[in-house]
Structure 1
Amino acid sequence: MKRLLALLLGLCLSLGAAAEVRLRVFVGGSNQRPDLMRKLFDQYLADKPGLTIDIETGGATSDLQRQYLSTVLNARDNALDAFLIDIVNPAQYFQAGWLEPLDAHLGPADQLLAPYLAVYREANVVQGRVAALPAFADALFMYYRRDLLDKHGLPQPRTWEELGRVARQVQQAEGNPKLQGLSLQGAPVEGAVCTFLLPYWSQGKAVQDPQGRSVFDAAAAARGLQQWVTLMDQGVIKRNVAEVKTPDTVNEFKAGKVLFALNWSWAWDRFEQDADSQVRGKVGVMPLPAMTGGQSATCTGGWQWAVSAFSRHKAEAARLVQFLSTPEASRFLAVRGALLPTYAELYTHPEVVAQVPWFADAAAVVRHARSRPVSARYGEVSDALRSATNAVLARSRQPADAAADVESRLRRVMR
């Protein structure tokens, strides 16, 4: 009898151990709000005994996070089960064989992605398979000192040329030589890709056709780069802009040293909630200016939940990712963390609007934002655009030469 009881106890322990699953999830850095992700994980675990979720964090920027994930996944390491990736990465990671197709576990792509904003549906389907699911949205916004424009009776500029005139008027009227007219990213980081694309897109130009082939217009690109040079010459953009990274823009604007600033949605809380902010209650959000005769355009950002192709618990990780992408999770992140929803209807949800009123202005920007080029070789595309931007802003290359070089590089990469 003792032996029988021992055998039964051993069997129960064995079955219990077999039912236990531990998932490890990479959730990025502070801008991706690991604290809120932990709360979502705990909600998910409430009725799932035997499942444990460990969080891994790291990387203050998307570039650093991309470097880390590329190292882990290229080594086919199974240490991570799921992770957040930038909107530019699903095609690149999927075609590298690093992502588990989620439709294999959760259902057909058209049904799975139907509820989301269109740009996220498009970014997360690769070769007809679901590479990832949207976590939260983002876009590049134009922040401005609403108090200063109101004080001097000036309108929101609709073109980059007009922005230059408005900025110079305010700079002269304020008598503040340290006040920058416009802060943007010129260092060779991912933000410089958008710095390149904003004036280019606003001329009605595209980088690739629906088949992914390059349709790059070097003349339009040169005009866009020249626009930044002109604003530098006018004293609107500071001369060492080739050294400016995304956090630098946030810190400069927060310190009251900038009139207009290009940055992502997470910057809003830094401006309005940080104890050392000099611009609290003085900030507005406006559509991005366009090149003269063109239309406003901005970069889509945002983060996606993906499952590692090397995970030992793919099915469990896929179910977790599905939960993290629900409207309920999106609303939680919006209300608690001001992270932009991936569902159109949440921008007018009473709870969301009550907590984050500026989302009413953000909705149109996100809905009409454009995706950076979708390519399995996105790293090379990004390098071509960011290095051209940096070289022009550092005054080491002329806009036309830099644009011609980009055209040549994209023709080789995007065939």
Structure 2
Amino acid sequence: MKSRTIRALQSGGAAFVGLAALAACGPAGATKAGGRPTFEGRGPITYVAGKDASGSVQEMLDRWNKLHPSEKVTFVQLPTDPDAQRQQMIQNAQTKSDAYTVLALDAVWTSEFAAHRWIDRLPEDRYPLSQMLKPIVETGKYRGGLYALPFSSDGGMLYYRTDLLKQARIAKPPATWAEMKADCAKVRKLPEARGMSCYAGQFQKYEGLTVNFAEAVNSAGGVVTDAKGTPHVDTPQAKRGLDFLVNSFKDGTIPKDAVTYQEEDGRRAFQTGKLIFLRNWPYAYPLMAKKDGSSKVADRFRTAPLPGLNGPGASSLGGHNLALSASAENKATAIDFMKFLSSQEIQRFTLSRAPGAPTYEALYKDPKLIKQYPYLPTLKQSILHAVPRPRVFRYGDVTAAIQQQVYAAMTGSTSSAQALKDLQQTLRQQAAGE
């Protein structure tokens, strides 16, 4: 037995704060012959994730801690910004610190963390993967092995103003970009829509821009990278996707200030009556449905699949998975905790308190949940047809390159063709450097 003080990076950067003195039992990083972890050791562990705005995370941990008083879990909250979360997790892994045990990884980080051996391969037979939506399960795999356990998913949806479409005698939400622009032209002729903009997504230079660009490319029949990580952005399909974004800024379909939008900016614009259509995640639904006066669109909107070039588009597949830090101790406890946290019971509990995208197919059919969150059937279809962002070894470099070139094209610093040509060259060089 030995004790140590777990030190964890806190929101805001480099300061380290001692969280708790934890008793560690069993050998850290013990492996079988062949390199597979044995998952030994029981005792206190940490759960590391972005800031919890809903408060539901601590409730879940309290449930576990009440049942496992000698194996308590401490919640280490990282910044809200996903790029900052990733950097702090990488820093912990590179120093081989045992401060972080179970990591809530963005679904797209699995390949990078697995390839660097920052996380352990998990025992698939310990988890009910067959009950989960297949595209979600695939986000946790790397080279045929399970390295991250599905915990929550996410899919983009099109939010639209039902009242305005009805007044403009539009029978159904648009399935294509051209239909959306035509619908906007009709709606904006209404006195009630004076001064409104047509559409917005997330276009600031951050991870959301990578998501929106990938969706545009996928929805035009292209891919950013193939299954092997080979880039394919200098193609006619990718250009049609990027041109949709660039031309929409030029013709006013997307308001100019949307180049600064993250998720919350778009949500506020929609719920204050500034937008007819909005691309966003399911978390926004109950916020915009509030009838306390904070939303001008309560009872006046619904969701639909994202539009595409020739028909319904393809969302980027979002969400978070649970991974086990390779340098952690008390891995037997961690494996059990991950099963608990990813269980259908806990996902039902979480969904009853905060919106989201569960991983279990059964929860999308639950009448009580559908009544509370009417977006669930649309969200299921979004996830089933979603395309993962590039599953590459050096994801951080890839997303930074995408953001730089796409932002330059949208703001007029370069043409779509040149941006994609430069991006293709950069992504090829990065792939060659792996």
CA pair 197-257 structure 1, distance change in 2 beyond 3 A: same
* 1:124 matched residue in structure 2: 140
How far is 1:354 from its partner?
3.5
**1:286 matched to 2:304:** yes
Alignment of 1:271-310 (within 5 A): 271-273=288-290, 275=292, 276-291=294-309, 293-310=310-327
Alignment of 1:71-82 (within 5 A): 71-82=91-102
**TM-score normalised by structure 2 residue count:** 0.84
**Distance between the aligned counterparts of 1:90 and 1:20, measured in 2?**
25
Judge conservation of contact 2:42–2:333 (CA < 8 Å) in 1. Answer: no
**Distance between the aligned counterparts of 1:217 and 1:404, measured in 2?**
5
Aligned-partner residue type, residue 75 of structure 1: T
* 1:157 matched residue in structure 2: 174
How far is 1:176 from its partner?
5.0
What is the alpha-carbon root mean square deviation over aligned residues?
A: 2.3
**Distance between the aligned counterparts of 1:171 and 1:137, measured in 2?**
35
CA pair 61-174 structure 1, distance change in 2 beyond 3 A: farther
How far is 1:132 from its partner?
1.0
**Distance between the aligned counterparts of 2:44 and 2:311, measured in 1?**
52
Which stretches in structure 2 are left out of the alignment for 5+ residues? 1-22, 26-40
Structure 1 residue aligned with 2:63, among 39, 43, 47? 43
* 1:102 matched residue in structure 2: 122
Judge conservation of contact 2:282–2:375 (CA < 8 Å) in 1. Answer: no
**Distance between the aligned counterparts of 1:20 and 1:131, measured in 2?**
21
Judge conservation of contact 2:64–2:72 (CA < 8 Å) in 1. Answer: no
Q: Which moved more, 1:206-215 or 1:145-154?
A: 206-215
Aligned-partner residue type, residue 257 of structure 1: K
Judge conservation of contact 1:80–1:308 (CA < 8 Å) in 2. Answer: yes
Judge conservation of contact 1:116–1:344 (CA < 8 Å) in 2. Answer: yes
**Distance between the aligned counterparts of 1:326 and 1:337, measured in 2?**
16
* 1:57 matched residue in structure 2: 77
Aligned-partner residue type, residue 345 of structure 2: E
Aligned-partner residue type, residue 287 of structure 1: P
**1:174 matched to 2:191:** yes
The structure whose residues are more often helix, as a share, is 1
Aligned-partner residue type, residue 62 of structure 2: D
* 1:377 matched residue in structure 2: 394
User: Secondary structure of the equivalent of 2:322?
Assistant: strand
CA pair 274-264 structure 1, distance change in 2 beyond 3 A: farther
* 2:381 matched residue in structure 1: 364
How far is 1:92 from its partner?
0.9
How far is 1:295 from its partner?
4.5
Deviations 1:234-292 (A, max 9, x none): 2221123322222211121122111111111111122123842221121210111111x
How far is 1:160 from its partner?
0.9
**Distance between the aligned counterparts of 1:88 and 1:318, measured in 2?**
21
* 2:44 matched residue in structure 1: 22
Judge conservation of contact 1:204–1:294 (CA < 8 Å) in 2. Answer: no
* 1:70 matched residue in structure 2: 90
**TM-score normalised by structure 1 residue count:** 0.88
**Distance between the aligned counterparts of 2:264 and 2:254, measured in 1?**
16
**1:396 matched to 2:413:** yes
Aligned-partner residue type, residue 247 of structure 2: T
* 2:17 matched residue in structure 1: none
Judge conservation of contact 1:200–1:221 (CA < 8 Å) in 2. Answer: yes
Judge conservation of contact 1:168–1:236 (CA < 8 Å) in 2. Answer: no
Q: Which moved more, 1:404-413 or 1:166-175?
A: 166-175
Highest CA radius of gyration, 1 or 2?
1
Aligned-partner residue type, residue 95 of structure 2: A
Judge conservation of contact 1:184–1:261 (CA < 8 Å) in 2. Answer: yes
User: Secondary structure of the equivalent of 2:256?
Assistant: coil
Aligned-partner residue type, residue 47 of structure 2: V
* 1:229 matched residue in structure 2: 246
**1:263 matched to 2:283:** no
How far is 1:348 from its partner?
0.3
**Over 6 Å off, 4+ runs:** 16-20
Aligned-partner residue type, residue 332 of structure 1: F
**Distance between the aligned counterparts of 1:208 and 1:17, measured in 2?**
42
* 1:138 matched residue in structure 2: 154
**Distance between the aligned counterparts of 1:274 and 1:30, measured in 2?**
24
Aligned-partner residue type, residue 75 of structure 2: I
Judge conservation of contact 2:113–2:119 (CA < 8 Å) in 1. Answer: yes
How far is 1:347 from its partner?
0.3
The aligned length equals 393
Aligned-partner residue type, residue 278 of structure 2: A
CA pair 223-317 structure 1, distance change in 2 beyond 3 A: same
User: Secondary structure of the equivalent of 2:226?
Assistant: coil
Deviations 1:3-47 (A, max 9, x none): xxxxxxxxxxxxx9969822121131235x4x2122222222333
User: Secondary structure of the equivalent of 1:370?
Assistant: coil
Judge conservation of contact 1:22–1:51 (CA < 8 Å) in 2. Answer: yes
Structure 2 residue aligned with 1:208, among 212, 225, 228? 225
**Distance between the aligned counterparts of 1:344 and 1:413, measured in 2?**
37
Alignment of 1:73-92 (within 5 A): 73-92=93-112
